[in-house]
Structure 1
Amino acid sequence: MSTPFVALLRGINVGGKNLIGMADLADCFRDAGYQDVRTYSQSGNVLFAADRAVGPQLEDAVERMLGARFEVPILVVARSRDELAATIAAAPPDHGSDRLRSEVFFLKHPLTSAEVCAELPELREGVDSIAPGPGALYFSRVAAQARKTRITRLMAMPVFRQMTVRSWRTSTRLLELLDAG
């Protein structure tokens, strides 16, 4: 029995760099034997089913596959449907509310939220909030003060290269698509 997954690719089709068509991306997954392959948005979200390795092994296998096909290193964070559901369920109660701009920073195995939180720079009180979750960090900023955020300090740190960011809306939509089959 195969398990539904989402692969979250970092840094493709952003700012005119690492341009990869979604049809080509889906074909790459199909050619490698993954089932039920589809993409969502242009930012590198691939839904698929696999009966192979999970966690770090799956991430590594997909990274090697993409590197061979597209000749560019692409960081991959993979989550099973159940792992993504656990991440969504553990979000702070107001995460995704209309008054906030909310994102999920998905962490590549073996990075943990505790490790990142230990390195976090000072964020702007009353504007930014960050909370740890399973394999992720929940970041929000008050929408009316979004330009005052200090999250760029985290984004400048080396540890940020082991993360990929999705909006709350995209994160919840990916779970809906996995549930819809």
Structure 2
Amino acid sequence: MPSYVALLRGINVGGRNPVAMQALAACFLDAGYANVRTHLQSGNVLFDAALSDGAALETALDDLLATAFEVAIPTVVRSRDELADTIASAPADHGSPDLRSDVFFLKRPLTVEAAMGQVPELREGVDSIAPGPGALYFSRVADRATKTRITKFMSMPVFQQMTVWTWRTTTRLLQMLDE
């Protein structure tokens, strides 16, 4: 069976939408997913599934989690190969020690073109954003990170169709899928 990662948006953040990782893993197992494990408290679930359609998996997991936890938990799903492609396609300096780098994963059907079209003007010399496969790569210069303008983008409605993970977490998830 193919391996996937489900990136859950908006759980265990600032005391909102608390979900225990043990309960989350049990939910996936009870639904018939295999090799289920979690990473961190913020909602990363690695699993195997017979279904090979990422969009269908997102819909199925959105419904499953809403029923199980009685709150809408938008889910972005990437196969192991999709995640590897996202990592391989990152700008060369993404994740460098001089930057704070994140990956904004897009929930289907949001497209990279539509998301990029809504990015406000960023601060030159501080922020950078680049398109990738199903994601946006965002970095800000570490010693100027407080000057970022990305918070404006994060307050826009389009941002509700994304989930953000640090570069370190993103690469760690691929390592875990490969273990």
TM-score by length of 1: 0.98
CA contact (8 A) 2:2 2:52 kept: no
- What residue number does 1:29 align with? 28
**Is residue 148 of structure 1 aligned with residue 153 of structure 2?**
no
Give the distance between the partners of 1:126 and 1:9, measured in 2 at CA.
31
Give the distance between the partners of 1:146 and 1:10, measured in 2 at CA.
23
Could you tell me which amino acid in structure 1 is paired with residue 53 of structure 2? V
Give the distance between the partners of 2:164 and 2:31, measured in 1 at CA.
26
Could you tell me which amino acid in structure 2 is paired with residue 83 of structure 1? E
- What residue number does 2:136 align with? 137
Could you tell me which amino acid in structure 1 is paired with residue 14 of structure 2? G
Q: SS at the partner of 2:16? A: coil
Report how far residue 123 of structure 1 moved: 0.5
Give the distance between the partners of 1:36 and 1:67, measured in 2 at CA.
22
Q: SS at the partner of 1:160? A: helix
- Unaligned runs of 5+ residues in structure 1 are none
Q: SS at the partner of 1:6? A: strand
Deviations 1:104-144 (A, max 9, x none): 00000111111111111010000000000000000000000
- What residue number does 1:79 align with? 78
Could you tell me which amino acid in structure 1 is paired with residue 155 of structure 2? A
- Unaligned runs of 5+ residues in structure 2 are none
Give the distance between the partners of 2:138 and 2:171, measured in 1 at CA.
15
**Is residue 51 of structure 1 aligned with residue 50 of structure 2?**
yes
**Aligned residues: percent identity?**
65
Deviations 1:80-103 (A, max 9, x none): 000000000000000000000000
Q: SS at the partner of 1:119? A: coil
Could you tell me which amino acid in structure 1 is paired with residue 150 of structure 2? I
Give the distance between the partners of 2:53 and 2:169, measured in 1 at CA.
22
Q: SS at the partner of 1:84? A: helix
CA contact (8 A) 2:153 2:159 kept: yes
Deviations 1:8-35 (A, max 9, x none): 0000000000000000000000000000
Give the distance between the partners of 2:97 and 2:38, measured in 1 at CA.
27
Q: SS at the partner of 2:86? A: helix
Give the distance between the partners of 1:132 and 1:114, measured in 2 at CA.
8
Deviations 1:34-60 (A, max 9, x none): 000000000100000000242111000
Give the distance between the partners of 1:57 and 1:68, measured in 2 at CA.
17
Could you tell me which amino acid in structure 2 is paired with residue 33 of structure 1? G
**Is residue 127 of structure 1 aligned with residue 130 of structure 2?**
no
Could you tell me which amino acid in structure 1 is paired with residue 116 of structure 2? C
- What residue number does 1:63 align with? 62
Could you tell me which amino acid in structure 2 is paired with residue 150 of structure 1? R
Aligned-CA RMSD value: 0.5
